[in-house]
């Protein structure tokens, strides 16, 4: 088997067994292709499977060092290394190449990022913002419904846009306030919907001119011409709102999900319950929000305590 054939088999495995999204598959393929391109230049010839099995730690470190010289972010390099490691594990598992050296290479350390959340007032202003464009009213109702799902239920943008007409019709017909969401890793969780979210969904569904003829399995959120709504449209709408309100550049659709978790925690929400609502596989991921809340409390303390003012 050639390296190219091994790459193709690896991609098929990631798609069928690991159930990677198309976006993640593309990123992993690009990372491995870039690694192989570097090794072709470094070794002076396109590497074979036998050559990949014989790579030494110094050669892996040379690739990492080159990425550093290019000024690539550590987060990008860490993901690239994870992609390459996945490829080598696949080769080893299938008896195509065995390389013990890669196990001795440490993943680049990443700075511990703290999610950026909006204040409750800014969040209210964002959700209530009116469009300054002359367009059909149902488009504003659509955008409001999407944004309320991101903040009110903590959904990822992909999870919100994956909702089907049948799911929303059944939800509104049944009078329930819970919805089954399939998120990362193909894991399903139950999320609670606020009355405002249900109201927004109904207003949008009833006003959208394309949904009456839509099939049950069609996406409920559609673009101006009736096709499935592109995430870029939601991202653009959030950019417009943040500019009109003078909000920080960090205000993105995903920041609404961060705000959902941070506001729940600040109001005394249980960390385990928030973990379930967000669909985090690990509690450590959810625990980042404790840093946000601690930072907020520290700021309040410094601004309010008499002795903190010197």
Q: Which of 54, 74, 184, 189 is catalytic?
A: 184
Q: Which of 205, 257, 258, 263 is catalytic?
A: 257
List, in sequence order, every residue forming a beta bridge with 181; answer none if it has no partner.
189
Q: Which of 156, 205, 258, 263 is catalytic?
A: 156
pLDDT of residue 114: 52
- Give the number of other Cβ atoms within 10 Å of residue 290's Cβ: 13
pLDDT of residue 127: 84
Is 280 a known active-site residue?
Answer: yes
pLDDT of residue 221: 95
**Secondary structure E strands in 86-182:** 178-182
Confidence bin at 56 (pLDDT 50/70/90): very high
Sign of the Cα torsion 212, 235, 119, 159 reads: positive
| pLDDT(284) > 80 | no
What confidence tens digit (pLDDT) does each residue in 187-196 have?
778 888 888 8
Domains along the sequence of the chain with CATH? 3-104 (1.10.150.130), 120-301 (1.10.443.10)
What confidence tens digit (pLDDT) does each residue in 99-109 have?
999 988 887 77
Residue 243, CA distances (Å) to 71, 136, 265, 289 in order: 30, 22, 28, 26
List, in sequence order, every residue forming a beta bridge with 182; answer none if it has no partner.
188
What confidence tens digit (pLDDT) does each residue in 7-55 have?
999 999 988 877 777 777 888 899 999 999 999 999 999 999 999 999 9
pLDDT of residue 27: 86
Confidence bin at 305 (pLDDT 50/70/90): very low
| pLDDT(299) > 80 | no
Is 288 a known active-site residue?
Answer: no
What confidence tens digit (pLDDT) does each residue in 187-229 have?
778 888 888 889 999 999 999 999 999 999 999 999 999 999 9
Is 219 a known active-site residue?
Answer: no
* Whole-number percent of the chain with pLDDT over 90: 43
Q: For 115-119, what is the mean pLDDT?
A: 70
Is 301 a known active-site residue?
Answer: no
- Supply the mean pLDDT for the chain: 82
pTM of the full structure: 0.57
Is 156 a known active-site residue?
Answer: yes
Provide the pairing of β-strand 188-192 with 178-182.
antiparallel
| pLDDT(167) > 90 | yes
Is 69 a known active-site residue?
Answer: no
């Amino acid at each position: 088997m050639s390296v190219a054939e091994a790459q193709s088999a690896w991609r098929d495995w990631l798609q069928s067994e690991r159930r990677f999204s198309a976006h993640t598959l593309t990123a992993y393929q690009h990372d491995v292709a870039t690694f192989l391109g570097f090794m072709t230049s470094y070794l002076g010839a396109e590497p074979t499977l036998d050559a990949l099995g014989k790579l030494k730690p110094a050669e892996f470190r040379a690739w990492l060092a080159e990425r550093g010289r290019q000024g690539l972010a550590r987060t990008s390099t860490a993901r690239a290394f994870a992609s390459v490691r996945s490829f080598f594990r696949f080769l080893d598992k299938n008896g195509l190449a065995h390389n013990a050296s890669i196990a001795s290479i440490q993943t680049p350390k990443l700075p511990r990022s703290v999610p950026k959340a909006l204040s409750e007032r800014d969040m209210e202003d964002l959700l209530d913002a009116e469009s300054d464009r002359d367009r059909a009213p149902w488009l504003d109702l659509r955008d409001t419904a999407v944004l309320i799902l991101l903040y009110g239920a903590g959904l990822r943008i992909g999870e919100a846009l994956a909702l089907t007409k049948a799911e929303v019709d059944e939800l509104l017909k049944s009078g329930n306030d819970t919805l089954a969401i399939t998120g990362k890793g193909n894991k399903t969780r139950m999320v609670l919907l606020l009355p405002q979210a249900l109201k927004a969904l109904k207003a949008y569904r009833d006003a959208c001119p394309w949904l009456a003829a839509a099939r049950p399995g069609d996406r409920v959120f559609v673009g101006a011409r009736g096709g499935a709504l592109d995430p870029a449209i939601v991202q653009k709408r959030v950019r417009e709102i943040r500019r009109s309100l003078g909000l920080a550049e960090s205000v993105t659709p995903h920041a609404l999900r961060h705000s959902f978790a941070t506001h729940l925690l600040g109001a005394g929400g249980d960390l385990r319950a928030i973990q379930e609502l967000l669909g985090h596989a690990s509690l450590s991921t959810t625990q980042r929000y404790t840093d946000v809340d601690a930072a907020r409390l520290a700021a309040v303390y410094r601004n309010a305590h008499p002795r903190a003012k010197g």
